[in-house]
Amino acid sequence: MTDTISNEPPATTGAELQRRDLLKFGGFGAAGLLFGSRAASAADLPPPSPVDRGRVEEGRVVFDPWRSPADTPSAPPPAPLSPDERVGFAIVGLGRLSLEELLPAFAQSKKAKVTALVSGSPGKLRTVASQYGIDPAACYDYESFDAIADNEAVQVVYVVLPNALHREFTERAAKAGKHVLCEKPMATSVEDAEAMVATCAAAKVKLMIAYRIQYEIYNRQLMDWVREKRFGRLVAMSATNVQTVADNGAEQWRHKRALSGGGSLPDIGLYCLNTARFLTGEEPVEVSALLHSPPDDPRYAEVEETVAFRLRFPSGFIAQCLTSYGARDDKHQRLNFERASVDMPNAYSYTGQRLTIAERDGDATAETAVKLEANNQFAAEIDHMATCILDDRTPRTPGEEGVQDHRLMEAIYRSAETGAPVALPAPERLDAFRGPPLPEDKG
């Protein structure tokens, strides 16, 4: 038997013939039959409806929803500024935070761009400049840093160095006429933190402290619920920020007091302290603390391992906080309101925040998991700074916010040392050390 090739169509049933004819003549009335067919040309297809095409309103592309209100709406398309309009940032210090989080986060920023790098390591400068397309002429070492004054592409200097170097580079940046975004903790003492505020004010530049959690949307949601008393009065909070350190940890700058200013408290306990403050907007009027470091462990020869501290606020709200370098990674907060408890794992992590509300539902207890569209906290914080430059506003987390945390940390250490609570003055208004929140901080 031999195979033959024929140009004749095989015998067909009436239905198959009809299908072939539909395809040939672009029969769209039988759309269900078209799967697997060759695509028709655009000219033969119905044009996009306004629902699909969207429109431009005030420089943004806008689409009408196509899913019913029963579904959670998707976020609108971002409206990034063009590269020419963005605020230029110099990153000072090419360590882990800069390389692992900040430089990647600029890709999600809508208002900022990296225009310069500063590092003491020529190899890192060359490599990172080439990875992120930074002009080699805009790369500085710590000695040549002051020449950044002549670089008009830099408006903000982002200080990402060990804590004890924050003051020097903030002040040098301010004297070069640049605004400053400074990593937390702001400094290593109240005195240095106050000097940074004064220098930036004298140079008429803005100073913002990089409290990323104040720009993270789950914590912002929690702040709104606290302030609108959604579940009644906030009675108490427990906040834990603990992690571990490798055996060779003593070699790291975090374990050298001259560079860090302290151990777990200024490094990670600060998140518990700052969050307890911004959720309510109140300031603690009393702090008490216990401190422990394993004796004879070289990692804790200069800085503390563990601090448990308690904050009492004017409304009666009490925050119990725990920080340690000796316990497995855990960043958890729980808020106890009159009518609900709210549980938040990963509260201070870079990602993975979750919110569960437990409250009465008739004769039952309802546990509701709240899911928000997560933002990149670093990009949100960087964009907040950029907005403050573009619109000439005070940052939500200015230098004064960082100074107050240093005052409180000094009181916590004092209480741990003396065993007695330390009383503090109560400011007359809420958010006494903060600038206004911006609508776009909500993501």
Residues at the contact surface with ligand NAD, assessed by CB under 6 A: 93-98, 120, 160-163, 183-184, 210, 212, 253, 259, 267
Which one-letter DSSP state was computed for residue 231? T
| Active-site option among 211, 218, 271, 325 | 271
Torsions phi, psi for 428 (to 5 deg): -80, -25
Structure tokens at 340: 């609900």
What φ, ψ does residue 216 adopt, rounded to 5°?
Answer: -95, 135
Q: Is 371 a catalytic residue?
A: no
Please identify, using beta-carbon distances, which residue of 167 and 434 lies nearer to ligand NAD.
Answer: 167
Active site residue 184: yes
Closer to ligand NAD at the Cβ: 40 or 258? 258
Cβ 162 to ligand NAD, closest distance in Å? 5
State the minimum distance, in angstroms, from the CB of residue 253 to ligand NAD. Answer: 4
Specify the length of the chain in residues. Answer: 443
How far apart are the C-alpha atoms of 420 and 440, rounded to whole Å?
43
Instruction: Quote the least distance from Cβ 422 to ligand NAD, whole Å.
Output: 24
Residue 308's H or E segment, with its range, is strand 306-312
Nearest residue to the partner ligand NAD, using Cβ:
95
Helix or strand holding residue 219 (H, E): helix 217-227
Nearer to ligand NAD, 234 or 403 (CB): 403
Q: Tell me whether residue 161 or residue 234 sits nearer to ligand NAD (CB atom).
A: 161
The nearer residue to ligand NAD, 94 or 222, going by C-beta atoms, is: 94
Task: Find, among 152, 183, 150, the residue nearest to 165 by Cα.
Answer: 183
Find residue 20's DSSP bridge partners. Answer: none
Among the listed residues 113, 184, 206, 331, the single catalytic one is 184
Distance between CA 123 and CA 51 in Å, rounded? 52
Q: Would you say the C-alpha torsion 246, 249, 252, 258 has a positive or negative sign?
A: positive
Q: Of 206, 167, 205, which Cα lies nearest the Cα of 186? A: 167
Shortest spacing between CB 255 and ligand NAD, in angstroms: 11
CA atoms within 13 A on the CB side of 100: 4
Nearest to 215 by CA among 350, 394, 372, 380: 380
Q: Shortest gap between Cβ of 209 and ligand NAD (angstroms)?
A: 10
User: Which residues are identified as catalytic?
Assistant: 184, 271
